[in-house]
């Protein structure tokens, strides 16, 4: 087996040199806090790229999602009392297969997430399951949608369902900056939208995020909340709860230096996806899907899913997994172990939120209705919900845009050997 001298990462930052120029500018001009030319410019560039009117630079994509949630709660239910939370115990429909940063802001605002099952077509929220959820919980007024791994969801269908039920939409585009749906950039479809510049994203600041909107009023609210809700007074005057969520001018310097390379990064990521797709032909696996007719992903992560009849025996606990190799078959645990032995990084698919210990008591809705019974059957070896199935059979492949074709070929060969 090939072992790389230098580790091949899942998705690491790719620096170009311009970043240090803007960081140095912040240092030399002494604009090291949460104001400065870098922040102003990245807000302008993000809004211009996405095609929205306003962008507010924040410390993380999670901060942006939190303030999206707070705005939505206040728009729906009015101003909360101190410590009450803007959602006040109301249920919120949320994509199930995602990172918990999507969901946690609902808890921050004292809401209750209800998880909507995934579809096979895009690995995103299933519109049929969302419609079923509104039948079961007709009073819900807020939906949180994720574009998983940079692949746009079925936006038109989701938005139509939201409009039918008078629900607002939060768009978590943290992973999909630069992706488009029907020619329109993601981050432009929600009543409130967010992107991320975390260290592994397609454009990075090492951290950071952005709130996106066409509403000047919402942008001003988020800008105020993110700077501890300071009032326009000559002293520190505070009339509502605020947060220390503003992006620093130093981090903004990194993002500013990255921005011109977004399309280059997307092209590199797409080439990696296509090389995997071609190289894995003939194996009982499929790449993570997308709707080629209506969307263009940013191909942030290349993933695969193993055909059901090609899965060897695999058992997962809360923190460990076991498998038994079978000729002609494999499983995510085996492939990930073999990739790791090469000094390369892969990882399991996001474990669905309805399977996470801290959210197991929450409702979970599939296209057929209440999903908890189906999940319990899945655990017992019976019927599977879609999210649990993709988690069981899928994995994220090394997708670093600095990976060479030769390194990728070696990874592909190792995957082939797993099925021997």
Residues serving a catalytic function are 201
* Tokens 């310097």, located at residue: 253
Task: Kindly give the residue spans of alpha helices, DSSP state H, lying in 7-165.
Answer: 18-29, 37-50, 61-77, 104-108, 127-136, 155-164
- Pair 396, 10: CB distance under 8 Å: yes
What are the CB-based long-range contacts (under 8 Å, 24+) for 41-49?
A: 41/252, 41/256, 42/210, 42/247, 42/252, 42/255, 42/256, 42/259, 43/210, 45/256, 45/259, 46/195, 46/210, 46/212, 46/259, 47/212, 49/177, 49/178, 49/185, 49/259, 49/262
Cα three-residue angle 265-271-276, rounded to 5 degrees: 130
- Pair 37, 25: CB distance under 8 Å: yes
Reported in sequence order, the residue ranges of 256-386 that DSSP labels E, i.e. its strands, are 285-287, 295-296, 303-306, 313-316, 321-324, 347-348, 364-366, 369-370
Residues in CB range of 372: below 8 A, 6 or more apart: 354, 363, 364
**Tokens standing for 252?**
């903004």
Q: How many residues make up the chain in this entry?
A: 420
- Pair 86, 67: CB distance under 8 Å: no
DSSP 128-194: HHHHHHHHH-TT--EEEEE-GGG----HHHHHHHHHHTT-EEEEE-TT-TT-EETTEETTSSSSEEE
Distance CA 353, CA 379 (A): 15
Of 208, 209, 168, 228, nearest to 192 by C-alpha is: 168
Distance CA 207, CA 251 (A): 7
Residues in CB range of 24: below 8 A, 6 or more apart: 253
- List strands edge to edge, sheet with 184-185: 184-185, 180-181, 295-296
């Amino acid at each position: 087996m090939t072992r790389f001298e230098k580790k091949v990462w899942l998705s690491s930052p790719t620096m170009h040199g311009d970043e240090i120029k803007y960081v140095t500018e912040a240092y030399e001009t002494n604009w090291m806090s949460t104001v400065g030319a870098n922040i102003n410019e990245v807000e302008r560039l993000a809004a211009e790229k996405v095609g929205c009117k306003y962008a507010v630079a924040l410390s993380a994509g999670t901060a942006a999602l939190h303030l999206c949630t707070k705005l939505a709660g206040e728009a729906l239910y009015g101003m909360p009392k101190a410590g009450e939370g803007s959602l006040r115990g109301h249920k919120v429909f949320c994509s199930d297969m995602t990172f918990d940063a999507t969901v946690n802001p609902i808890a921050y605002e004292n809401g209750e997430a209800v998880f909507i099952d995934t579809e096979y077509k895009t690995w995103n929220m299933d519109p049929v399951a969302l419609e079923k959820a509104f039948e079961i919980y007709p009073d819900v007024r807020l939906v949180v949608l994720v574009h998983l791994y940079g692949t746009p969801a079925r936006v038109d269908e989701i938005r139509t369902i939201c409009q039918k039920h008078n629900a607002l939409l939060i768009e978590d585009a943290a992973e999909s900056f630069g992706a488009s749906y029907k020619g329109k950039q993601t981050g432009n479809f929600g009543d409130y939208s967010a992107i991320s510049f975390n260290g592994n994203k397609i454009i990075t600041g090492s951290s950071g995020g952005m709130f996106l909107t066409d509403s000047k009023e919402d942008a001003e609210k988020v800008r105020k909340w993110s700077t501890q809700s300071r009032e326009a007074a000559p002293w520190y005057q505070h009339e509502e709860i605020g947060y220390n969520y503003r992006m620093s001018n130093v981090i903004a310097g990194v993002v500013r230096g990255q921005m011109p390379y977004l399309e280059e990064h997307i092209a590199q990521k797409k080439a990696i996806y296509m090389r995997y797709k071609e190289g894995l032909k003939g194996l009982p696996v499929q790449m993570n899907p997308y709707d080629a007719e209506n969307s263009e992903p940013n191909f942030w992560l290349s993933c695969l899913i193993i055909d059901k009849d090609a899965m060897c025996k695999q058992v997962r606990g809360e923190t460990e997994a076991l498998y038994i190799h079978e000729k002609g078959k494999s499983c995510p645990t085996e492939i990930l172990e073999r990739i790791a032995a090469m000094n390369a990084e892969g990882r399991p698919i996001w474990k669905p939120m309805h399977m996470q210990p801290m959210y197991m008591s929450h409702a979970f809705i599939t296209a057929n209705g209440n999903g908890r019974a189906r999940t319990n059957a899945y655990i017992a070896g019976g019927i599977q919900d879609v999210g649990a199935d993709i988690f069981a059979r899928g994995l994220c492949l090394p997708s670093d845009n600095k990976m060479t074709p030769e390194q990728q070929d070696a990874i592909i060969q190792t995957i082939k050997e797993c099925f021997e």
